[in-house]
Amino acid sequence: MGTGDKGKPAGPEWLRRFAGMCWARPRAVVLACLGAVAGVALTTAAPLIIRRVVDGVIVGGKDEAAPWITLLLTVAAAQFAASWVRRWWAGKIQWGVERDLRLLLHDAIQRIDGRRLDRLRSGDVLSRAVNDVAVVRDLTGSLPLLAQNGLTLLLTLGVMLVLSPLLACVALAVVPPMLLLARHSRDRIYPADRAVQERTGETSEAVESNIAGVRVVKGFAQENAETERYAGLARRLFAARVHRRYLAARYAGLLGELLPGTARFGVILLGGWLAVRGDITLGTFVAFTTYLAAMMGPVRMLSTMVGQAQEARSGLVRIFELADAEVEVSQRPDATDVPDGPLGVAFENVTFAHEPGASHAAPALDGLDLTIAPGEVLALVGGSGSGKSTVGALLARLYDADSGAVRIGSGGALTDVRELRLDSLREAVGIAFEESLLFSESVRDTIRFGRPDATDAEVHAAAEAAQADGFVRALPDGYDTVLGAQGLTLSGGQRQRLALARVLITDPRVLVLDDATSAVDPKVEAAVLASLREQLAGRTVLLVAHRRSTLRLADRIAVLEAGRVLDTGTHDELTARCPRYRELMLGELREETGAEPVPAGPATASAERPAPDGVPARDPEVDEARARAADPDFTLGQLLRPHRARLLVIGLLLLADTALLMLAPRLVSAAIDLGVRRHDGAALTVVAGALLATAVANWLVFAGEMRAIARTGERILYELRVKMFAHLQRLGLDYFERESGGAAVTRMVSDVAAIGEFLQNGLLDSAVSVLLFTGVLALMFALDTGLALTVLAVVPVLAVACWWYGRVSKRRYDRARTQLGELNSAFQEAIDGVRVTQAYRRQDRSAARFHVLAEEQRTLQMRSQRSLAWFFSAVEFLSDATTALILGVGAWRVADGAASTGTVVAFLLYVGLVFGPIRNASQLLDSYQRARVGLGRCRELLRERPTVTEPHRPLPLPAFGSAGRMRGEVVLKDLRYAYDGGAERALDGVSARIGAGETVAVVGTTGAGKSTLLKLVARMYLPTGGAVEIDSVDLRAMDGVAYRSRIGLVPQEAYLFGGTVRDAIAYGRPGASDAEVRAAVEEVGAHRMIAGLPEGYGHRLTERGRNLSAGQRQLIALARARLIRPDLMLLDEATAALDLATEAAVGRAVEAATAAPTTIVVAHRLTTAARADRVLVLEGGRLVEDGPHEELVTAGGPYAALWSAYDDGVIPA
């Protein structure tokens, strides 16, 4: 959902809005800024005190040291307070803005209209809520420190101008080139950041869609193909991230190393000469060097913040793009309420297209005229894609008509729905959707979703009306049972009944039932319809129907064809005069008229998209086999081991960097002792030249170090991403039934990003800190043991502080990360369920629930912020106190002749090198904690054991005939299965033999175990008892992927992946030719439907195929299964959304196809069962009948009872 040119920086609007979000906490902003300003003043004052001690005590010997040391300790204590205030209130801003951005995105999703929702890429949206929000949060937390560093630079330069204008001008000479470089870097880094975030969105989208379509992935044995596709996207992300880091290395080295080093060279050379000539005092020269050393940290931080700011800017622009997306369905300011009383409905010349402006696009509705009188029950029938579901969606204003009007009202006065308040309209119009999505909450809360004030008695009554009370009470906790993600732990029929109860309890005056019983068996449906007759009394009802049994509820029936009403009347009237009605409801087939051939076109390579963003392609150069291999004993060490050589190079560069950093203070000490104190200009010049050479070397080493870390770190992250994704493909369905897409994306994005941040930044900083700390301490002892012991005395206090902080922060970070997974799962659920939320007017409830979770995350993070503020403020105090101690001890040792002035100055500079990395390490330890928790979550995933295991030495697939195909004989031997190892069995002792080439229907009441049986035959679950044999070979002994590549599966939910229609059909055989795709489509009778789509086979599908009707999706899913030429077909209610004529056409085409495979079909439409060779009847997980249709009907048993309840009387021949 991008807007505009992604390569050009956006205008200043993003900055104004971001500033406004920060200023929403004025107290926090003011106090954080006051803390920063106070810190600047105190930081600037300290070198002036040091100057006085050097001139008056160490050099002059006239003043007492104690008062000045006491003053310095007082300044250190004040600095502690200022630092705590800045950090605590900066945290208030940081975590508050993060929460606000999350709420902004959530609210934008709740407002989204139907058309935009159809085009929505939920993985990309989740990436914005996870990755982009985190980037902005990190920048926000750094802003007060950034302001402090900026003020420090300005105030320091001001003091330097007062002390020596000439020296200050030398230091300022590098400012213009720094500003030019910063501006140039902004123009280069912003597009690179945008590319990184877009590609992060692509990988997130791939994870989310893979999890949502996991049944299709496994059903077509596409785990390896999905891993390859993801690896292609991960390679694109690798290239973008390396490109961005190379750019950052280029500019950070110049801004943070070379230019500041050049300034230091000029100050040391000129300042030394001025001190030699007596134009400035030695104390002034020491103050200048102290100021210059103090400026190096802020300059380095500002140089890195240039890149971070561009990254955050790109993230904010992406967030605001989504938040500001134009909403087509909005409420007018003068909107009115729906009038009281019974309501009538009228569609007046309504035209609507799901994709307006698309070439060759036929509108879903084209001049629709239709009226429903108050209290009338009108049924809509029509073929797949005729516009039935769109009619109900327009009535509830989930979409707005492109032209014409939808009206509702009472007493003959009908009002355009666009003139009514949305809440009032949706309160009056209740809708049970074709796809019954449920939320992760208790059954009780699920039913009263639209009426949270409903009593338990009303909840039970609604469940009884929907025939759900019986199975609900049988659940482990009855009405208090918490449903899994999207309710997938229930069968399709059970979900539909709960969705029906959910709408009935709201008592709407207009009720839309969009094929609301398609997944319910005939016996239960008969009971549901009987209770509905009472429920519908006095209501206006729009009924979308595929079954004749449902039509019995209707007073009148309207036949839709190509978005228009073809005819209206009663069942008898339409049967007598409307051929299309007879075709739809009685199964009479017209001859195919032979639509013009539509070329399928080439397959679309969806794994790797073109790169118009200027990012050069790069190969991670890792061992792909190792990256994709299972690794149950995964550790960080194992991940790093293959990169030992590269890590060694990085280590050597770090050593060189550290040595150069330690060398600079020693050279400054030499400049004082050899040049200034001895009035030796030549020595001063040599030392200054050495400083310049050090700066150049530091720049080169730093740039090489950053590039090496970028490339190596991104290789490691690429390998981790692919390893985790490949392992996801190995896990069984049970994992995905308890793990939401949001939680998985959090692992694949947030946790991997946290590990990457630490590997590439935190690990570098920590390595430099350790090397500096040990190296500088060693150098200190070499210079002066007495002063070194003074520094060492502070180390135990620092160690205790580090131990305390590590212990406290670990516990708090663990809790915050766990809650973050819950928060992101809730956001994913909000995306998936937005249509239901809008239809039931529960946007405020969804927002309130999400607000509670977002606020809980903020509260948990603020607890961590409290300990962080205490710890790092204490570290700053210890650093400043150590400086004071060195001055005091140093003055005494210089007076005794035990140390030189240059040595004391070197120690003052070395204290900055010891404590500087620790003082600025809030991001480092924060990064470490995030990485530690993230690594634990990644390890948790990689150690998850697949429940559907592969044999150590799998037997080859049975092969017969010249083609080497399976015969397809299926034998069920005392088959038993219990979900989650529970005592209650979904299947209990099922035994049956299905002959090769035989078509067997599996029927039974909802929850009888039909879909479970299919999943066991598909080897998606392994039996807990008994066995499934294919051609006399136990399925457990076969290679699961190889076996599933030979079966054609059409699951209950016809999930389609993005890409073109041709891509969707060829999913199981990506290399299929256009002719083969066309042949499979014609076999299932879907060619006419596809030819009518915009661009035909090249029509691009939105996420999950949302821009097609349920029937159209089922036809494509059937063609997808036929294309692989399976040896075994498994159809789980594969034609439930099709009209009888299309279903009959599909059945005839499949039967007529050569090499017809063995077929097992789960059927609620008993016309499907009647066409089968045999029928298996399940009840309570047991096989209660087995035989041909006619025999079972005659037997008068359970199947006969189902058949008598079924009302689609005519069986297509």
Stretch 959-963: mean pLDDT, rounded?
65
Residue among 433, 432, 389, 425 nearest 407 (CA): 425
Decide if pLDDT at 1132 tops 90. Answer: no
- For 1098-1128, b/e burial (b = at least 16 CB within 10 A) is bbbbbbbbbbbbbbbbbbbbbbbbbbbbbbb
Residues 179, 302, single domain; the answer is yes
Residues 512 and 376 in one domain: yes
Residue 358's pLDDT is 59
Co-location of 706 and 821 in the same domain: yes
pLDDT tens by residue, 217-266: 988 889 999 999 999 999 999 999 898 888 888 887 887 788 888 888 88
pLDDT tens track for 998-1051: 999 999 887 788 888 998 999 988 999 999 999 999 999 998 888 988 888 888
For 354-391, write each residue's pLDDT tens digit. Answer: 877 655 567 889 999 999 999 999 999 888 778 888 99
Q: Which of 1162, 1133, 1190, 1117 is nearest to 436 (CA)?
A: 1133
| Per-residue tokens: 813 | 């970070």
Reported confidence tier of residue 8, pLDDT bands at 50, 70, 90 = very low
- pLDDT band (50, 70, 90) for residue 1136: low
Residues 886 and 813 in one domain: yes
pLDDT at 447: 93
588 in a structural domain: no
Say which residue, 25 or 51, is predicted with more confidence.
25
User: In this model, does residue 520 exceed pLDDT 70?
Assistant: yes
- 205 against 742, higher pLDDT: 205
Q: Same domain for 899 and 1004? A: no
What pLDDT does 594 receive? 39
Confidence of residue 61 (pLDDT cuts 50, 70, 90): low
The pLDDT value recorded for residue 1152 is: 53
**Cα–Cα dist 641/416, whole Å:** 68
What's the rounded Cα separation, in Å, for the pair 509 and 531? 17
pLDDT the model gives residue 919 = 58
pLDDT band at 596 (very low <50, low <70, confident <90, very high): very low
- In this predicted structure, what is the pLDDT of residue 428? 93
Q: Looking at the structure, do residues 922 and 975 belong to the same domain, yes or no?
A: no
Domain boundary among 924, 942, 960: 942
Closest CA to 742 of 129, 82, 94, 189: 129
What's the pLDDT band for 9 if we cut at 50, 70, 90?
very low
Which of 80-94, 651-665, 1001-1015: highest mean pLDDT? Answer: 80-94
Give the pLDDT mean for 140-144.
79
- Domain holding 994, by residue range, is 970-1055+1126-1205
Q: How far apart are CA 1004 and CA 416, in angstroms?
A: 45
Tokens of 247: 């750019």
> What value does the mean pLDDT take over residues 110-115?
86
pLDDT digit string, tens, across residues 865-894:
898 889 888 888 888 888 888 888 888 888
The confidence band for 307, taking pLDDT boundaries of 50, 70 and 90, is low
Q: Is 916 exposed, middle or buried (0-12, 13-18, 19+ CB in 10 A)?
A: buried
Judged against a pLDDT cut of 60, whether residue 997 lies above it is answered with yes
Which residue reads 């309710």 in tokens? Answer: 487
pLDDT digits (tens, 9 = 90+) for 185-225: 777 877 888 888 788 888 888 888 888 888 899 888 899 99
Q: How confident is the model at residue 107 (pLDDT cuts 50, 70, 90)?
A: very high
- pLDDT tens-digit profile of 686-711? 988 998 999 899 889 988 888 898 89
> Is 682 within a domain?
yes
Distance in angstroms (rounded) separating the CA atoms of residues 1099 and 385: 14
307 in the same domain as 166:
yes
- Please provide the DSSP assignment of 1091-1128 as one string: HTSTTGGGPEE-GGGTTS-HHHHHHHHHHHHHHT--SE
Q: Are residues 314 and 355 in the same domain?
A: no
Q: What does the alpha-carbon distance between residue 260 and residue 638 come to, in Å, rounded to a whole number?
A: 40
Rounded distance between C-alpha atoms, residue 556 and residue 374, angstroms: 13
Q: Does the pLDDT at position 1140 exceed 70?
A: no
Q: Compute the distance between CA of residue 172 and CA of residue 405 in angstroms, rounded to an integer.
A: 69
Which pLDDT tens digit goes with each residue over 828-862? 888 888 899 999 999 888 899 999 999 999 999 89
Residue type, 1042: A
Count the domains in the chain. 3
Mean per-residue pLDDT, 4-29: 74
pLDDT, mean of residues 319-347: 89
Note whether 814 and 933 are within 8 A (CB). Answer: yes
Q: What are phi and psi of 774, to 5 degrees?
A: -70, -40
Query: Structure pTM?
Result: 0.74
The confidence score (pLDDT) of residue 903 equals 82
Q: What is the mean pLDDT of residues 732-759?
A: 77
Residue 786 has pLDDT above 70, yes or no: yes
Q: What is the mean pLDDT of residues 1170-1190?
A: 91
Tens-digit pLDDT profile for residues 389-410: 899 999 999 999 999 999 999 8
Q: Tell me, what's the pLDDT at 608?
A: 43
Once rounded to an integer, what is the mean pLDDT over residues 506-528? Answer: 80
CB 1121 within 8 Å of CB 1056? no
pLDDT of 967 higher than 70: yes
pLDDT tens, position by position, 1194-1211: 898 888 888 887 654 443
Is residue 587 scored above 70 in pLDDT? no
Tens-place pLDDT, residues 1070-1116: 889 999 999 888 888 888 888 878 788 888 887 778 778 777 888 88
Q: Is residue 291 part of a domain?
A: yes
Q: How far apart are CA 1014 and CA 1024, in angstroms?
A: 15
Say yes or no: 632 and 745 in one domain. Answer: yes
202 or 760: which leads in pLDDT = 202
What is the domain-level CATH number for residue 1145? Answer: 3.40.50.300
Query: What pLDDT is stored for residue 186 in this prediction?
Result: 72
Please report whether residue 1119 resides in a domain: no
Evaluate if residue 615 carries a pLDDT over 60.
Answer: yes
Strand pairing class (987-994; 413-416):
unpaired
Q: Name residue, tokens 């300034």.
A: 263
Per-chain mean pLDDT for the chain = 83
Specify the pLDDT at position 277: 82
Q: Do residues 808 and 729 share a domain?
A: yes
The predicted pLDDT at position 592 comes to 41
pLDDT (0 to 100) of residue 605? 38
As given in the structure block, the two tokens for residue 698 are: 């530091």
What pLDDT, on a 0 to 100 scale, did the predictor assign at position 1026? 92
* Residue 610 scores a pLDDT above 50: no
* Any domain includes 1097: no
Residue 1077 domain flag = no
**Is residue 1147 very low, low, confident or very high in pLDDT (cuts 50, 70, 90)?**
low
> Is residue 817's pLDDT more than 50?
yes
Q: Is the pLDDT of residue 508 over 80?
A: yes
**Residue 978: strand, helix, or coil:** coil
pLDDT, residue 505, reads 93
**Phi and psi, residue 504, nearest 5°:** -65, -35
The per-residue pLDDT for 3 is 41
Domain end (from 545, 575, 605): 575
Q: Is residue 521 part of a domain?
A: yes
> Which is nearest to 892 in space by CA: 65, 33, 80?
65
Q: Which pLDDT value is given to residue 604?
A: 39
pLDDT, position 660: 85
Q: Distance between CA atoms of 1199 and 206, rounded to whole angstroms?
A: 43
- Count of alpha carbons within 13 angstroms of residue 371, beta-carbon side: 7
Would you state the pLDDT for residue 742?
Answer: 66
The count of other CB atoms within 10 Å of the CB of residue 962 is: 5
**End position of a domain, from candidates 544, 575, 606:** 575
The whole-number pLDDT of residue 1135 equals: 67
For residue 44 the two structure tokens come to 């600037």
Does 878 share its domain with 1018? no
CATH for 51 = 1.20.1560.10
Cα–Cα distance, 77 to 924 (Å, whole number):
24
pLDDT band at 744 (very low <50, low <70, confident <90, very high): confident
- Give the percent of the chain with pLDDT over 70: 89
Q: Same domain for 742 and 838?
A: yes
| Measured distance CA(332)–CA(202) in Å, rounded | 36
Residue 1107 lies in a domain: no
Instruction: Give the residue-averaged pLDDT of 55-64.
Output: 69
Confidence of residue 314 (pLDDT cuts 50, 70, 90): confident
Average pLDDT over residues 1-20: 62
